[in-house]
Structure formats: structure tokens, C-alpha cells
A and B are shown apart, each in its own frame.
Chain A
Amino acid sequence: MVLKAFFPTCCASADSGLLIGRWVPEQSSAVVLAVVHFPFIPIQVKELLAQVQQASQVGVAVLGTWCHRRQEPEESLGHFLEGLGAIFSHEPWLQLCRERDSKFWSCKATYQQVPTSPGAHSEDQVMLIFYDQRKVLLSQLHPPAALPDHQAGDATASACGLAAVFDTVSRSKALFRSDQFDEGLVRLSHWQSEGVEASILVELAKQASGPVCLLLACLLSFISAASTCRVFKLWPLSFIWSKLSTCEQLRHRLEQLTLIFSTQKAENPSQLMRKANMLVSVLLDVALGLALLSWLHRKDRIGQLADALVPVADRVAEELQHLLQWLMGAPAGLKMNRALDQVLGRFFLYHIHLWISYIHLMSPFIERILWHVGLSACLGLTVALSILSDIIALLTFHIYCFYVYGARLYCLKICGLSSLWRLFRGKKWNVLRQRVDSCSYDLDQLFIGTLLFTVLVFLLPTTALYYLVFTLLRLLVVTVQGLIHLLVDLINSLPLYALGLRLCRPYRLAAGVKFRVLEHEAGRPLRLLMQINPLPYNRVVHTYRLPSCGCHPKHSWGSLCRKLFFGELIYPWRQRGDKQD
């Protein structure tokens, strides 16, 4: 196998010294982590390596020598470097060398022991792969297939392929603490040699985050304790809370905030990303909500809205009345059963009249209610949208009632029709065996059954038409509410921090690597540059999306059509805690 030497680009201009890193025998690759400069004491180098090995569980060792010939070639240095091979023995021993003005390097790998297979050479051909140490240290690989989880405390990093390189570099943080400009015993050269990076703001934020998190965690625990007190579990209140989507959204946000400000540190990078995504989502939500609030309070828009609300409700009621008058006549040329038509029409008209009276009763208080509701937008745009969806649900409550009445009537009719149709053919539904069986009826049973059957059949078009009209209206309202919920879901679950990271620091989220072949000369080893291939945007969203409220319709289109046909009630929003239908 070709021997691969992964060399950090920051060490390419370093002075001569020893190469420190990890040897991965399965892939025949040497990952160079740092260069130890002269002068050094071999005992101290070995001590440092033992310390690093204990701290990071990575098998760090001296891999070979690095020779950077800036001046005239020194023969003594060459012999000295070869002598080092006797002090730090490693199989194979790498010797990398670079001329002053040359782009091409020379590498040799020598095996001390005679290899067992007769075909292998003692000096393998070496391939040099340059990598940017800082980027590889900070990046996180996202493999396409889910690898089986391995224990975090493994002594040997059991990652396969190039993931081993990433793993080695990211675990060796203990090695990168001391530098060649430090006063320590051993002078190292690695990515920090180009300048240790730190930011005052980040450090201050880290120091301040401890007490702030504690304070907010206490506050949030107090709020969640208050919300679970016994008063809210009484029947009318608990029913209302479970139906309003605002409460669901507030509960969701409270959970998220509790998670963000919990005093436990994040255990792995995915938890950290999740916390960061939630925080950015909450901040954006609040910012958008405040923008909405400022827009609403400018130029007295709330007053305008409140003034427009009652006429709109009146208009809707008027349109419904026209619709019912049309149904009571001869809708679309169909001939209805006059008596049933009048009964149903008058019943629904009276309902609308009641509803309009209630709206007019409430009209003086609407502006104040809207003003207070508008204040809730400072909790977030999602809360404001949920409140809007709830207001729509409340204002169209009469349409919901009509739908339920129409559906129940229709359902009853369909049940009656199906059982009487079975009687008409001389069959019966066997409840014990859950199937249709033949049955012999008496003459009077048959007579009454057939009469009722014909009555129901001739009344079917009227009921079906009312059912159809009110179901369509209900579906329209459900669609509008659904669009609002979709928008809320989008704001809740979009991983904005991950998307921002992908935009500004694409090397942090890596899908893989890519190689570029650098200038090559015959007889010299092959040089490649390894760069990080960033994760595409759709995979970023897919991997890091936050769990949403879960208010998705659970029916497929087929079952929905079936339910509509048989007149069963459809509940499009099943909240998380509800029992399944």
C-alpha cells in the first residue's frame, strides 16, 4: 500500500525538527500533528508524549524527522537526523525534507524490520497530503450513512478512513496547548504558531453565561411550576387550553427556553448545535414580533383593525344568509324536498342570528382586547400568529357548528340507509361475527323497512347538499388555519444557526473531503491538498431541523376522502397529548 503522510500546511515553513503524530496501520497513513524543534531533551519529549497520550486517548508518537534546509546543505544535520532514528524508534521511520527554494519535497520511509511478505519493498513510495490543521480541528464530519456508535472513551479511535484523520486532530487538543514561543521545556510548532486566536467578547460571554443561565433557569422553573398548578387542571380550563394553539406554542417555547438555559453543559456537538439553533430561533422570533408590534402601534392600526372587525363579521354572516336562502330555493337547478329544506334552512338562519347578536354585544370591548393581544407579539411572532389562528377559529365557530350538524345528520342518514338497504335485500349485519349474513324477516318488518328506506333515499339529496356546502366552508377555514400553522412550524423548526454557520464558516460542517493534485515532478513524491467539502444546504436543514409541535394531519388523502364520504367528523389538528382516534 502507498504510505500516506498527512502534513499540516502551517508546519511547511517550520524549522527542522522531529515529527510528532499518529500512525494508523490499517490505512498505512501517518497523521503529523506538530514539529518539535531543536534543542530538545529526548526524555522530556517522551514525557510530553506520554502526558498527551493519557489526556487524549490518542496514540501519539514520534514519527520521523523534518528537515528544512534554509542555508547551504549541512551534512552534519543530515547525520544527526539519522541518528535520531535510533533514539526514537518507530516503524516506519519517516524522513521529510524540503529545499529552500524548491516546491518539491522529498520523502523516505524506512522499515527497520524485514517485512514478512517477500514482495514488499523496504522503502515504500510516499504520498504527501497537506491539510489545514485549524479547519480540520474545528470541523465536524457528517457521514452519509449512520455509523454504529462507538464509545467516546476508546483508546483507539475506531473510525474508518479519513474520519480517523479528523478524529486524531480533534482529540489532540492537549498537544496544541504549548507553542514554540512558550517558555516550556519542549518547543512545538503547530496551527497555533501562526498566532493564538481568542476573542475578548467570547471569553466575557463565557464567564457571564454561568450566573445568567442560573438566574434564568430559576425564573423558568418558577413559571413552569406556576403553569402546572391545580387551578389549570379543572375541566373547562383544561379543555380550552388543549384546544388553543397559542397555549401549545407557549408550552413549546417554554420547553425550548428551559433547555437552552439549563445549567448542564452540552455533552456532544449535536446537542450544542441544537441549543444554539433554538436560541437563534427564539431571538429571531422575538425580533420579528417586536417589529410587528411597532408596526401595529404606529398610526393607530389597532384601532383601524378593531373598527374593521365587526363589519367583516357582519359581512360574513350576511353572505352565509344569502347562501342559505339560495339553498332553500332551487340551488343549481336541483329540486329539494321543500319541508326538510325549510326546517334546516330556518334552523341555520336562527343560528346565524344568534351569532351576530353575540358579536354586536362584544363590539365595544374589541379594541381593548385587540390591544392586549397585540402586546403578546413581544413574546414572538409565532405566538402572534397562533393567536391569529385562534381568533379565526373563534370567529368562524358558527361555520364549525353548521359543519358538525350537517355531518351528524348526513352520517345518521348514511347509517340508516346502509342498514335498510341490507334489509331490502334480505340481509343483516351480524355483530358477533362482524359480517353480513342473510336473515328472514317478517312481512311487517319488511314493509316498514322498505317504507323508511324510500323516505330516506328521497331525502338524501337535500341533506347531502347541505352537508357538501358546509363541509366545503369548513375545509376553507381549515386551509387558512393550516397555512398559518405551516408558517409557525417553519419559524419553529428552521435551524438558522446551522444555516448561518454553513454560509459564513463552511468548513465547520463537513460532508467529506476533496483533493487537489499540486504541481508534480517525475521522481518526486505525489503532493495532494486535502480540503473540506462543505455540507449542502438541504442536508444541513435535514440534519439539524428542530422538532416542531407535531400538529400534522395524521390522515392520508384516501382515508380523508373516505371519512368525508361517510360523514365522519374530521379533526385536522391532533395535539400531541390527545388520544388517537
Chain B
Amino acid sequence: MEDELSFSDIYGGRLALQRRYYSPSCREFCLSCPRLSLRSLTSVTCTVWLAAYGLFTLCENSMILSAAIFITLLGLLGYLHFVKIDQETLLIIDSLGIQLTSSYASGKESTTFIEMGKVKDVIINEAIYMQKVIYYLCILLNDPADPHGISQVVPVFQSAKPRLDCLIEVYRSCQEILAHQKAAPTSP
């Protein structure tokens, strides 16, 4: 079962949440971030090239112009490969674990898998971010030494930053699956 809903992030940009229910024990949530806007790309390129042209008129060295082109290209490639995240996915599989995937604009995917034995709970927490107070979804990990303690907090959807309504959807589904986990004790 698959459906798509439209939400907004903390800045007001549009986000698309795709929900896939593969089975009662496996669900996937895919958040697509807004794409790289042409306006910001042209403005940055124009600024860099104007600065390079200004330097060129001062120094009369044409290496500056080729260096500026090189820097713009490398910067753009680096930004697409290391910084710009296109999609963030959360796959939760009952009794296996939770998988977080971030796909970058250049196609690179970076995945983290957290086993169910380490997951203590999935919660919505508040944080102070710049001048705002925002909500974010996070996974709490068990501390092997202390049964009531938490060893790590893993935030989810860090670059998409959806608002509370989107987080509540994801939270409810995750809690349904985690409830199976808590209800069924380890098999004999």
C-alpha cells in the first residue's frame, strides 16, 4: 500500500512524504526535500565570476578566470555530492531494526541500520534551533551498562526538518510496530 502526502518544513518549503506499508511488520517513510533552486545557483555563480573578473582587472592575469571556473565547478560537484540531500528514508522492520537512508543529489546513498535490540524508543523531542524552537523525531538507543539509561540519541530527518504534523504521522506508525516488539517477549 502506497500513498503520498504533502507537508511543509520548518521554513515553509514543500515536502512530500511517501508512505509504503509493505506488511503489518514493515513500513517505509520517504521524505523528499525541495530541490536545488536555479535562482540560488545562478546568484552564487554570478557572484563568484564577478569577483574573479574584478580581480582580473586588477591583476591582468588570466589564470584567475580559469581558476574561478574550476572553483565553481568543483564547488558545485562537492555540494551535490556531500551536502545536498534529496531524500531521507526511514524503514522500520519489526524484530529486525530501523534503517535510515539519505540520498544525495549526486546519487550517493548513505545508510545506517540500527538493530531492534538496541532501540529503546522512538520519540518526538523539542530543540532550540537558531531562533526557533522546533520538533524533531529521534530514536533512543539502549545503554548496555544501565537498563534505564540511554546511550545515544539519533535524530531522524535532520536535513528535511518537517513540521509536527508530519512527525506525528511517522511517530504513530513507528509506535504501532514497536508495540509488537514490546508485547511479544523473546521467543522460547
Contacts and interface: CB of A to CB of B under 8 A. Distances in A.
Contacts of B101: 514
Given A2-B94, A125-B25, A160-B117, A514 B111 contact: yes
Contacts of A161: 115, 117-118
What DSSP secondary structure best describes chain B's contact surface?
Answer: strand
Interface string A1-20: 11010000000000000000
Interface in B132-169: none
A499 to B, nearest CB: 19
Nearest to A518: B22
A25 B113 contact: no
A517 B91 contact: yes
Contacts of B17: none
Contacts of B91: 515, 517
Contacts of A514: 99, 101, 111, 113
B25 A2 contact: yes
A517 B28 contact: yes
B186 A1 contact: yes
B106 interface: no
Contacts of A2: 25, 94-95
B12 interface: no
Contact of A28 (B95, B111, B117): B95
B184 interface: yes
A27, A116, A120, A160: which has the most chain B beta carbons within 10 Å? Answer: A27
Interface residues of B, number: 22
B42 interface: no
Contacts of A120: 184, 187
B117 A528 contact: no
Given A2-B95, A125-B25, A515-B96, A28 B187 contact: yes
B26 A517 contact: yes
A333 interface: no
B47 interface: no
A2 B112 CA distance: 22
A30 to B, nearest CB: 12
A115 B187 CA distance: 10
A533 B111 contact: yes
A516 to B, nearest CB: 9
Nearest to A536: B110
B188 A162 contact: no
B23 interface: yes
Contacts of B22: 517, 520, 526
B174 interface: no
Given A517-B22, A526-B22, A4 B96 contact: yes
B98 to A, nearest CB: 10
A162 B97 CA distance: 10
B187 A515 contact: no
B13 to A, nearest CB: 28
A59 interface: no
A295 B175 CA distance: 67
B123 to A, nearest CB: 22
A127 interface: yes
10 contacts: A4-B96, A27-B117, A127-B96, A160-B115, A161-B117, A512-B113, A513-B113, A515-B113, A520-B22, A533-B111
A-B pairs with lowest CB-CB distance, top 3: A514-B111, A161-B115, A28-B187
Interface of B: 22-23, 25-26, 28, 91, 93-96, 99, 101, 111-113, 115, 117-118, 184, 186-188
Given A1-B184, A127-B93, A528-B93, 16 more contacts: A1-B187, A2-B95, A4-B95, A26-B186, A125-B25, A127-B26, A127-B96, A160-B115, A161-B115, A513-B113, A515-B93, A515-B96, A517-B22, A517-B28, A517-B91, A526-B25
